[in-house]
Amino acid sequence: MPEQANKLLVIDDQPDLCEFISEAATGLGFESLAVTEPDEFRRAVQDFQPTVVVLDLQMPGADGIELLRYLGERGSKAQVLVASGMDQRVLATAQQIGKAQGLTMLGALQKPILLADLELMLRQCLRADSPINPAVLEAALDTNEIQVHYQPKATRVAPNRWIVEGVEALARWHHPSLGFISPARFIPLAEKNGLIRRLTEQVLEISLAQVRAWDATGLELSVAINLSPQLLNDLAFPDQVARMAAQVGADARRIIFEVTESAAMFDPGTTMDVLTRMRVKNFGLSIDDFGTGYSSLKQLYLMPFSELKIDTSFVRDIFTHEDARTMVETMVLLAHKLRLTACAEGVESREVLDFLDSVECDRAQGYFIGRPMPGDALERAVREWNANQG
Ligand code: C2E
Ligand code: MG
Ligand code: MG
């Protein structure tokens, strides 16, 4: 992949501020361009191809949010900094909007902008020569280096009786020389570089083959696949996954898609369309890491989810923070009232599982039941766990 230069584009209606930002950027080694009009900005996005954009949210006669949307629609890979004299909440919301448009939001600059803050932020934007870059990830996808591990999800079939009936598929990347690379690093990399769809397809394909292999041994399991927010903007996605499932004869009822809350809660338009069509095709839909995103409870009842996954951060704390216990209990109740299945993540001990049993949580996942592991090891682990449930 050819190395891209560091190019900064700034738009602000105040020419002196433009100059200030532009000069600071040049001093750090950026090639920079400053504009004051939206039309100039749009042209520059196309012709100049900035790697960093500094955007003033409030300009007379122009709307910064609209320009964010423009960047999003063009699939801009630029890192975006928003600037405004308005309060932090407005800046924070603008960042959420940018993220939901698939943009890489780097942060906010509160006006008046201090040179030190500006330089600190711009330094973070300078391309570091990371060995884990899009080209390496793309090669990994080409050579099937991405593997899938499976973590058991137990279902409470009766009081104190938890049977593993499903798994969550988790992508694993072991690079021959760089070693094990965490999904926390390569998933965002895939998302930012247009590789997430391919990655998801590979994970789905591998998982479906694995489900069939387990079937052949008499072990019937459902499989949960993590879906990146971006794929919810892809209207063709539901048909594509339905085709993939049909090709291997997999029943949609045995496939659950896990979506992170922050993403699912935004832009109800396209997201709702995609999610609803998935449900109509009988796929399960789970809202992942519930309680950690920018949730709107209203969206929760509007969106067609079938499962609510309670985030690890609450589950982990149930014996140290009474409030965490209350949250878990309440989330289970909320799920049930909304006719959703509740699944707790991060179950690391018998005590936690017993607590979940007492509040009638439907599913549990965590190291206590089983760590993520390769398909053959999982088969043995599940048989052993289930045999011990009486
Ligand atoms: P997630 O979907 O919330 O997955 C659960 C994460 O919690 C996994 O981390 C799992 O290993 C970890 N975990 C499970 N049980 C326990 C426990 O008892 N204690 C603790 N401390 N951790 C536990 P992992 O595999 O590192 O994945 C991190 C995240 O990366 C996932 O969070 C998911 O959001 C994302 N991810 C993984 N595979 C894929 C994929 O194929 N596609 C997409 N879009 N995202 C993926
Ligand atoms: Mg998940
Ligand atoms: Mg989760």
Summarised one tens digit per residue, pLDDT across range 143-182 is 999 999 999 999 999 999 999 999 999 999 998 887 888 8
The answer to whether residues 318 and 196 belong to one domain is yes
For residue 295, pLDDT beyond 90? no
Note the ligand closest to the C-alpha atom of 149.
1
The answer to whether residues 247 and 382 belong to one domain is yes
The answer to whether residues 92 and 141 belong to one domain is no
The answer to whether residues 86 and 147 belong to one domain is no
Domain termination site, one of 123, 154, 172: 123
Report pLDDT digits (tens) over 35-84. 999 999 999 999 999 989 999 998 887 788 999 999 999 989 899 999 98
The answer to whether residues 88 and 21 belong to one domain is yes
**pLDDT of res. 296:** 63
**pLDDT of res. 114:** 84
| Domain count of the fold of the chain | 2
In a domain, 1, yes or no: no
Helix or strand run (H / E) with residue 255: strand 255-260
Phi, psi of 255 (to 5 degrees): -120, 125
Residue 77 to residue 61: CA distance in whole angstroms: 26
Cα→Cα distances 389→89, 97, 157, 380, Å: 50, 47, 10, 15
The answer to whether residues 149 and 117 belong to one domain is no
Paired sense of beta strands 161-175 and 146-158, if any: antiparallel
Ligand 1 pocket, 201 CB below 6 A?
Answer: no
In a domain, 129, yes or no: no
In a domain, 2, yes or no: no
The C-alpha torsion from 114 through 117 and 123 to 124, rounded to 10°, is -140
User: Which DSSP state fits 234?
Assistant: -
In our burial notation (b when 16+ CB lie closer than 10 A, e otherwise), range 199-214 reads: bbebbbebbbebbeeb
DSSP conformation letters of 284-313: EEEEEEETSS---HHHHHHS--SEEEEPHH
The answer to whether residues 97 and 148 belong to one domain is no
The answer to whether residues 139 and 118 belong to one domain is no
**Which of 312, 378, 385, 307 shows the shortest CA–CA distance to 345?**
312
Starting at the edge strand found earlier in the chain, the sheet holding 31-35 runs 31-35, 7-11, 52-56, 79-84, 104-110
Residue ranges making up the domain that contains 292: 134-387
160: three-class secondary structure by DSSP: coil
Ligand 1 site-directed mutation target among 226, 311, 349, most atoms within 8 Å of CB: 226
Rounded to the nearest angstrom, the distance between the alpha carbon of 281 and the centre of ligand 3 is 23
Domain termination site, one of 96, 123, 150: 123
Residue 122 carries which side chain, given as an amino acid letter?
L
The answer to whether residues 231 and 356 belong to one domain is yes
Report pLDDT digits (tens) over 330-340. 999 999 999 99
Ligand 1 pocket, 289 CB below 6 A?
Answer: yes
Q: Which residues pair with 8 in a beta bridge?
A: 32, 52
- Is the pTM for the entire model greater than 0.85? no
**pLDDT of res. 2:** 41
In a domain, 17, yes or no: yes
In a domain, 106, yes or no: yes
CATH number at residue 199: 3.20.20.450
Report pLDDT digits (tens) over 105-144. 888 888 888 888 888 888 777 755 557 788 999 999 999 9
Residue 153 to residue 307: CA distance in whole angstroms: 12
In a domain, 231, yes or no: yes
The answer to whether residues 140 and 244 belong to one domain is yes
Paired sense of beta strands 7-11 and 52-56, if any: parallel
CATH number at residue 91: 3.40.50.2300
Domain termination site, one of 78, 97, 123: 123
The answer to whether residues 59 and 191 belong to one domain is no
In a domain, 39, yes or no: yes
The answer to whether residues 46 and 169 belong to one domain is no
